[in-house]
């Protein structure tokens, strides 16, 4: 089994920052796993601007922001395994992964950093009744289809949920020539940033229907419309307020959940309510030597903060590794099984 | 004529509430900003609202199918549709560097259309 000092799982802004920071803090053998072909994580599909205002004092797009870190990683000796999915991690810090070129691999590391990001809540998660016709997407997967694959999503869309991803997609669809009939939000106030309401909806005259929700979808093969209704303060549809909006696409933007399948399998604790990994102030999970950062810990609305947190995790992992190395060198007979030297 | 407008600054997520006073079409006083960028935004938003526009275009021979592109600086909002039409015509061949100018001075303005990403040639 090949050994590394540090293995980082996930090549988004969190993982990139963590790996670079550990490298700068004297860690030499680092491996980074990313299941996509390119590094950068979700930033690659966020082609809009609004990244880097804190760290670089410039307004960058997602890919530009990512590239600054990807370049530094490329110029370093950090081993990057892209197109590689991590299948399993264990508490003793071994990582099982697979890709087309190397096949199955198992590596051991002195410390791990989990930076696996988040996934989207789906329509199923909020339970809208209706058939399952084509044309219903989560906002993030629609963003991916449009921005990375170049597909058109639909001619007339309704967006459910006013999270930032939904707002940004409303503008994106409009610019690409689709009509956005409405953004429908069950709460009395938009959940995304005000700046996104202004520059994504107001700029284009897209209606925002607050205290409204989608109660059912219509269409068998392809979506033909959605039925919406006003909701009361307990989120229950109010009788007599129903109306029909014809549309061939519904984008669901109802929130993100940290992605922690790997950690859960390994028995690492998460917060019950947020699903984020439970970490201490140095970003260490309850498994010794396993650190975490970014959206896997909690949902961040700014990539800059993710980078800052990634750096903290990288620094903490580096001092954990150096500290342990110091101890094993000083005390070759160190008895704790977890601390045996390579 | 004196009048006043309230804006929400969209330059950064702090979202300061800006008050702009005008006499006829001249900005006389701006308050509520926390930094110089906010003051500049309020000024521009009244006189010529502009945005950084971003989209994607197709790219040939690269490791990815779409190339994200942007306006090099804020571009007048009323002309966004013209901008989109012009940019849609772009045909880009890999390799391309981040920041590379793809259309210089689009539509006779001082802003360029630049690549948001470096894309290597597919081997
Ligand atoms: C639509 C949208 C718009 C946003 N807009 C802005 C904005 O305008 N400004 C801003 O500052 N922030 C914005 N953000 C927030 C910011 O982009 C995110 O907070 C940030 O990208 C999270 O970084 P991360 O590294 O934690 O996760 P991610 O970027 O999601 O990276 C996680 C990576 O881990 C990989 N991975 C997961 N599991 C495995 C596995 N088992 N094996 C191998 N690899 C794995 C994934 O493929 C992914 O690449 C936006 C987010 C979204 C979704
Ligand atoms: S005024 Fe400055 S600090 Fe306030 S929102 Fe605008 S850019 Fe941000």
ipTM: 0.88
3-state secondary structure (DSSP) of residue A324: helix
* Residue A341 covered by a domain: no
Pick the last residue of a domain from A252, A284, A313: A252
Burial class (CB in 10 A: 0-12, 13-18, 19+), A330: exposed
Q: Which residues lie below 8 Å from residue A142, measured CB to CB, with a gap of 6+?
A: A153, A169, A249, A251
CB contact under 8 A, A203 and B77: yes
Q: Domain span at residue A21?
A: 2-119+256-334
Is A143 domain-assigned? Answer: yes
Run of H or E including A2: strand A2-9
Question: Are residues A127 and A248 both part of a single domain?
Answer: yes
Cα Rg, chain A, nearest whole Å: 22
What separation in angstroms does the CA of B115 have from each of A46, A302, B1? 14, 22, 44
Mutation choice for A interface testing from B66, B67, B96, B119 by most A CBs within 10 A: B66
Query: Is the per-residue pLDDT at A337 higher than 50?
Result: no
- Are residues A195 and A312 both part of a single domain? no
Distance CA B111, CA A193 (A): 27
What are the distances in angstroms from CA A242 to CA A89, A197, A216, A227, B12? 49, 25, 10, 7, 38
**A339 found inside a domain:** no
Summarised one tens digit per residue, pLDDT across range A44-85 is: 999 999 999 889 989 999 999 999 999 999 999 999 999 999
Residue with tokens 């521009």: B44
User: What distance in angstroms lies between residue A51's CA and the mean position of ligand 2's atoms?
Assistant: 14
Residue A328, domain CATH? 3.50.50.60
Which residue from A72, A74, A31 is spatially nearest to A307, judged by alpha carbons? A72
Whether A242 and A267 map to the same domain: the answer is no
What are A177-235's pLDDT values in tens digits?
999 999 999 999 998 888 899 999 999 999 999 999 999 999 999 999 999 999 998 88
Domain boundary among A191, A218, A252: A252
The answer to whether residues A25 and A114 belong to one domain is: yes
CATH architecture of B54-115: Roll (3.10)
Does A152 lie in the same domain as A246? yes
The pTM (predicted TM-score) of the whole model is: 0.91
Same domain, A55 and A89: yes
φ, ψ at A94 (rounded to 5°):
-105, 150
- The binding-site residues of ligand 2, defined as CB within 6 angstroms of any ligand atom, are B 9, 11-12, 14-16, 33-35, 37-38
Atom of ligand 1 nearest to the CA of A10: 34
In a domain, A52, yes or no: yes
Residue A192 lies in a domain: yes
> Are B56 and A47 in contact (CB < 8 Å)?
yes
**Residue A296 near residue A117 (C-beta atoms within 8 A):** yes
At residue A270, the 3 state secondary structure works out as strand
Express each pLDDT in A140-192 by its tens digit: 999 999 999 999 999 999 999 998 999 999 999 999 999 999 999 999 999 88
Structural domain total, chain A: 2
Same domain assignment for residues A292 and A223: no
Residues A127 and A115 in one domain: no
Residues 6+ apart with CB under 8 A from A254: A120, A121, A125, A126, A160, A161, A163
| Residue of A41, A42, A49 to mutate for B, most B C-beta atoms under 10 A | A49
Q: Measuring CA to CA, which residue among B67, B88, B16 is closest to residue A149?
A: B67
Q: Looking at CA atoms only, how far is residue B84 from chain A in angstroms?
A: 7
Same domain, A63 and A133: no
A87 & A140 share domain: no
**What angle (nearest 5°) sits at the alpha carbon of residue B26, between those of residues B22 and B32?**
45
Residue A283 within any structural domain of the chain:
yes
A342 lies in some domain = no
């Amino acid at each position: 089994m090949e050994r590394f000092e540090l293995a980082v799982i996930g090549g988004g802004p969190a993982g990139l920052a963590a790996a670079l920071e550990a490298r700068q803090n004297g860690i030499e053998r680092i491996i980074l796993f990313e299941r996509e072909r390119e590094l950068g994580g979700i930033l690659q599909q966020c082609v809009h601007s609004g990244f880097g205002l804190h760290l670089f004092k410039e307004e960058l797009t997602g890919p530009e922001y990512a590239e600054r870190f990807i370049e530094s990683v490329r110029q370093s000796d950090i081993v990057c395994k892209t197109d590689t999915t991590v299948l399993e991690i264990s508490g003793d810090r071994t990582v099982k992964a697979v890709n087309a070129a190397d096949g199955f691999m198992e590596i051991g590391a002195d410390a791990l950093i989990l930076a696996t990001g988040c996934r989207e809540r789906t329509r199923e998660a909020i339970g809208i009744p209706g058939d399952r016709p084509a044309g219903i997407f989560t906002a993030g997967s629609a963003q991916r289809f449009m921005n990375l694959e170049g597909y058109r999503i639909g001619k007339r869309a309704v967006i459910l949920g006013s999270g930032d991803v939904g707002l940004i997609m409303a503008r994106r669809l409009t610019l690409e020539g689709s009509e956005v009939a409405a953004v429908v939000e069950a709460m009395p106030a938009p959940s995304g940033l005000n700046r996104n309401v202004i520059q994504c909806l107001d700029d284009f005259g897209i209606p925002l229907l607050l205290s409204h929700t989608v109660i059912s979808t219509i269409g068998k093969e392809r979506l033909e419309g959605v039925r919406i209704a006003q909701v009361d303060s307990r989120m229950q549809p109010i009788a007599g307020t129903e109306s029909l909006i014809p549309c061939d696409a519904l984008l669901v933007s109802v929130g993100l959940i940290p992605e922690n399948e790997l950690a859960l399998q390994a028995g690492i604790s998460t917060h019950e309510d947020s699903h984020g990994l439970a970490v201490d102030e140095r970003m260490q999970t309850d498994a010794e030597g396993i650190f975490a950062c970014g959206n896997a810990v909690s949902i961040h609305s700014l990539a800059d903060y993710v980078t800052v947190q990634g750096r903290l995790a990288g620094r903490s992992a580096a001092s954990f590794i150096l500290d342990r190395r110091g101890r094993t060198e000083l005390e070759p007979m160190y008895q704790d099984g977890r601390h045996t030297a390579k | 004529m004196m009048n006043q407008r309230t804006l929400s600054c969209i330059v950064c997520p702090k979202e300061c509430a800006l008050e702009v006073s005008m006499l006829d079409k001249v900005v006389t006083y701006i308050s509520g900003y926390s930094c110089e960028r906010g003051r500049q935004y309020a000024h521009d938003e009244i006189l010529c609202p502009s945005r950084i526009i971003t989209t994607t275009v197709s790219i040939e021979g690269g490791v990815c199918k779409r190339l994200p592109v942007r306006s090099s600086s804020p571009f007048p909002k009323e002309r966004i549709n013209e901008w989109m039409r012009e940019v849609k015509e772009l045909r880009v061949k890999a390799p391309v560097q981040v920041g590379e100018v793809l259309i210089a001075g689009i539509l006779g303005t001082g802003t360029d259309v630049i690549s948001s990403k470096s894309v290597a040639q597919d081997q």
